[in-house]
Amino acid sequence: MSKAELIFGMHAVESLLQNAPHRFIEVFCLKGRNDERLNKIVSQLRKQGVSIQFCQRKALDDKAAGEQHQGIVARVQAAPALTENDLYEILDKLNRPAFLLVLDGVTDPHNIGACLRTADAAGVDALIVPKDKSAGLTGVAKKVACGAAESVPFIQVTNLARTLRDIQQKGVWVVGTAGEATQTLYQASLDGPIALVMGAEGSGMRRLTRETCDELIAIPMAGQVSSLNVSVATGVTLFEIKRQRELKSAV
Annotated binding-site residues read 199, 219, 228
Distance CA 14, CA 100 (A): 25
Distance CA 135, CA 170 (A): 27
Distance CA 82, CA 89 (A): 11
For residue 123, count other CB atoms closer than 10 A to its CB.
15
Question: What's the Rg (C-alpha) of the chain?
Answer: 20
Per the annotation, where are the binding residues for S-adenosyl-L-methionine? 199, 219, 228
CB 30 within 8 A of CB 71: yes
Distance CA 206, CA 122 (A): 25
Distance CA 189, CA 154 (A): 26
Element (H, E) at 25: strand 24-30
